[in-house]
Amino acid sequence: MGGGILSALAAASRRAGSGRWSACLIVLVVLLLGSRLNAAEQARRQVLLRDITSIAGVRDNPLIGYGIVVGLHGTGDTQQTMFTNQTLANVMQRMGVQITPGTIRVANVAAVFVTASLPAFSRPGMKVDVTVSSIGDAKSLAGGVLLLTPLRAPDGEVYAAAQGPLTLGGYSAGSNGNTKEVNHSTVGRVPEGGTVERDAALELSRFTTVSLILQDPDFTASKDIAASINQEFSKDVATPVDSRRIDVDVARAGAASVPDLISRVQNLSISFHPPAKVVINERTGTIVMGGDVKLSPVSILHGSLTIEVTTKLMVSQPPPLSKSGETAVVPDKTVQTKEAPVGHIELGEGARVEELINGLRAIGATAHDVVSILQAIKAAGGLRAELEVI
């Protein structure tokens, strides 16, 4: 596109035969190309409100239950896990079989915690996935079946029930210390093994105000969201409350219903500028940096001092024809100190992340070295981003 415009410009300049007109046309084309590039950049930064906000009150709810898994091939809890035997005795009692927990000697049963997430607007009969985790000393839950287990919410009420065969993402094989284990064989899932038993739907018709909650607090984004909503409805229906919450007046919006209002709002878009942030995991040495992270003028010196200690065994013998002394093995210790040349990086004003990474690679810095260097840069005021260590 740019080449065609420039060719037409050159032809027009030749026809005009004037340097002044040529200069004016060049300025015009440059402005045109710049506006198109700015529009393209602006379009790339446009995000839907559904991607950066959520509706207050519309959320999942955690569920938890205690149950047992049966049908294991000798890999269940041992007799030392007393609560497994007690649970099994209680289940058998409800089935009309009286047994004493102390007399139970089975290895095909394991006590487990069952967890699930109750989605928003759940209705009775809906299916949910459940996760089953061993809490005893079972070796594996492979091949097991979860017995009927009630799942309770934080309010103590039963909202779902779970039951079904387990699927595992790992296995454990072998015995007597010679074993092979892949992933976790004591945690499994029951796909769609939970059935919702209680209506947990939220009545949106009672809402007088719909509150949008930003995933990341940002006063500018909060203001822009309210402005975009007001422009959509051609009146002031949205108010930014703080850096995270925007309230929309349902009655003033005049939408046919609350779901219709939420749908219109969530499909709006704004020009969003994500915050500059660097996340560091010191345990694994993982570093994630956003593309908008900038650096102030800073100079980095990186050097390493390596101390190497080696020990050799030497045989010590007495002099020839000596009447005393004995042959002995004594250690011969050698201490060596090596100091590597200092690595040096210089970054100019507004340097980007790529320049920092390339420079650190050039001086041979490891992931843990980079963590320390970034913390030092932040402490020196050279990192224009939030530094989060997890």
pLDDT digit string (tens) for 226-258? 999 999 999 999 999 999 999 999 999 988 899
- pLDDT given at position 29: 46
Q: What is the mean pLDDT of residues 321-344?
A: 63
225 vs 278, more confident: 225
- Spell out the residues 6+ positions from residue 371 whose beta carbon is closer than 8 angstroms to its own: 280, 282, 285, 287
- Spell out the residues 6+ positions from residue 101 whose beta carbon is closer than 8 angstroms to its own: 82, 85, 86, 88, 89
Confidence of residue 2 (pLDDT cuts 50, 70, 90): very low
CATH number of 50-56+203-271: 3.30.1360
- pLDDT given at position 296: 77
Query: Pairing state of beta strands 158-165 and 167-168?
Result: unpaired
The domain segmentation of the chain, as residue ranges, is 50-56+203-271, 61-168+185-196, 278-389
CB-CB contact of 200 with 122 (8 Å): yes
CB-CB contact of 200 with 159 (8 Å): yes
pLDDT at 147 over 90: yes
Instruction: Give the C-alpha distances (Å, rounded to integers) separating 177 from 101, 135, 184.
Output: 30, 22, 17
Chain segment 285-305, per-residue pLDDT in tens: 777 876 677 777 777 766 654
Check: pTM over 0.85? Answer yes or no: no
Q: Give the tokens for residue 289.
A: 């940096």
Q: What single-letter amino acid sits at 273?
A: H
Q: What is the mean pLDDT of residues 162-172?
A: 83
99 vs 231, more confident: 231
Q: How far apart are CA 91 and CA 73, in angstroms?
A: 20
